[in-house]
Structure 1
Amino acid sequence: MQTRRRSHGDAVDAVARRNDPRQYDEFAAEWWRPRGAFAMLHWLAAARAELIPPAPRPDAVLVDLGCGAGLLSPHLSGKGYRHIGIDLTASALAQAADHGVTPVRGDVQRVPLADGCADVVTAGEILEHVTDVRTAVGEACRLLRPGGLLVIDTLAATAVGRFLAVTLAERLPGGPPRGIHDPALFVDRSMLVRTCAEHGVTLRLRGIRPSLTDLLRWWTGRTDHVRMCRTPSTAVLFQAVGRRG
């Protein structure tokens, strides 16, 4: 299936309504295309899964905040978790259910699940889309059992982060759809660390970026997957990992 081509007017409209969740319905057919509009989300899901250990006990639960169409699910195979996905987009949740995710329609700022229900909570590429990051982070921490693991990846609220993730990336072939991000919502790293600490989770941060070699091979059609590499800087794209005390 071909990616829907937007006219100039469509592109302008998309930018005018940045971070509009209706875009995920417009691009519903793109979720599972390895070379589609959400290709980078596949790469990030694989990198996120590398931080998730095998389930620590029978009936362990992983809550996937902003799960989209369930792109994390193939990477959890054999790890032993019940995978619960939280998202607002019904069309994405329907696809997630087809990939073994237990779908729950809800806002990550008001998660309809009980305190301490999760052994792992992931928040992959969602915090830069919420209007109240502190509340969303508080919800993520609330869901964790004592000793539970929090895994985050998101975009940093820096000038270089905004330039690379929006100004540049939205204009590159294979980049994110125009208007999918609102740079005003990118995440302040020190605030994220402080907020998690207030909820008993000590975070460690590390920067990540796509492998440039893999990216070139992807652009030239020689691979469908791009590895994410560690980088010393957290100023653009970063992962954050911590356990609840």
Structure 2
Amino acid sequence: MRRNDLAQYDALAGEWWRPDGAFAMLHWLAAARARLIPPATRPDAVLVDLGCGAGLLAPHLAGKGYLHVGVDLVESALEQAGAHGALPVRGDATAVPLRDGCADVVSAGELLEHVIDVRRAVAEACRLLRPGGTLVLDTLNATRAARLLAVTVAERIPGAAPRGIHDPNLFVDVRVLMSECARHGVDLDVRGIRPSVRGLLGWLATHRGEVTMVPTWSTAVLYQGRGVKREQA
């Protein structure tokens, strides 16, 4: 099977909600991403979750006041997202079937490093945001360190990354991402993120519990971004 093949997600469909499964780290990242999402400021607020997978962000949105719209190409994942409270929409992140400015928040978690045309995906994410809306994301940097840790090392650790799930040639240079977001009206603040050392060691020993993702000074491997779309002049 080639790297970054969508068919892998169907093959691993039963792993999404297992805390000790192949997608364990995605649960930790969803919790960290949710901490960047502000509470809704109006009753009909919408959050568009690009590359939503099986809806792992959903439990972390309880009480925030959003209609959670999950966009993905994988039907087996969308079915699970719908069962966990997201409104499922089948669509490509580079051509989302939703109207301009429909979202108060757009989330793009662990998505951009899987997209062939990252510039187009960024343009779509920003298009969906209303002025004053918030973009939150996390992805892997286009560095040797990211290739080593996210592919060579992580694919050998159960729960860290399924073998072949990433194509390191698609990892996203942080400077390119910030530039593209700015071009589409979103000034992105970025910071590195990593698992807490104590939590990760405990999880590796037991494969139990959730590991807290913590900020780090370096964006060389994994990084988060948050930005607000500029108000129109």
Normalised TM-score (structure 1): 0.93
Deviations 1:201-244 (A, max 9, x none): 00010000001101111112273200001100001000011000
**CA separation of 1:222/1:71 partners in 2, compared to 1, >3 Å: closer, same or farther?**
closer
Percent identity of equivalent pairs? 68
- 1:220 maps to a residue whose letter is A
Moved more, 188-197 or 21-30: 188-197
Instruction: Give 4+ residue runs of structure 1 displaced > 6 Å after superposition.
Output: none
- Contiguous gaps of at least 5 residues in structure 1: 1-13
Q: Retained in 2: the 8 A contact 1:214–1:223?
A: no
Residue of structure 2 equivalent to 1:90: 75
Residue of structure 2 equivalent to 1:4: none
Normalised TM-score (structure 2): 0.97
- 1:69 maps to a residue whose letter is A
Matches within 5 A, 1:39-58: 39-58=24-43
Residue of structure 1 equivalent to 2:128: 143
Residue of structure 2 equivalent to 1:182: 167
- 2:126 maps to a residue whose letter is C
The question of 1:234 aligning with 2:219 is answered: yes
Give the Cα–Cα distance (whole angstroms) in 2 for the partners of residues 78 and 140 of structure 1.
Answer: 24
Q: 1:74 aligns with which of 59, 64, 69?
A: 59
SS across alignment from 2:225: strand
Cα displacement (A) at 1:174:
2.7
Pairs aligned (count): 230
Give the Cα–Cα distance (whole angstroms) in 2 for the partners of residues 243 and 48 of structure 1.
Answer: 15
SS across alignment from 1:220: helix
Give the Cα–Cα distance (whole angstroms) in 1 for the partners of residues 209 and 10 of structure 2.
Answer: 23
Give the Cα–Cα distance (whole angstroms) in 1 for the partners of residues 51 and 69 of structure 2.
Answer: 11
Residue of structure 2 equivalent to 1:105: 90
Q: Retained in 2: the 8 A contact 1:84–1:104?
A: yes
Q: Retained in 1: the 8 A contact 2:104–2:129?
A: yes
Residue of structure 1 equivalent to 2:4: 19
- 2:57 maps to a residue whose letter is L
Q: 2:197 aligns with which of 209, 212, 217?
A: 212
Give the Cα–Cα distance (whole angstroms) in 1 for the partners of residues 128 and 46 of structure 2.
Answer: 10
Q: Retained in 2: the 8 A contact 1:60–1:82?
A: yes
Q: Retained in 1: the 8 A contact 2:22–2:158?
A: no
Give the Cα–Cα distance (whole angstroms) in 2 for the partners of residues 70 and 175 of structure 1.
Answer: 18
Q: Retained in 1: the 8 A contact 2:50–2:107?
A: yes
The question of 1:197 aligning with 2:207 is answered: no
Give the Cα–Cα distance (whole angstroms) in 2 for the partners of residues 63 and 152 of structure 1.
Answer: 12
Q: Retained in 1: the 8 A contact 2:72–2:90?
A: yes
- Contiguous gaps of at least 5 residues in structure 2: none
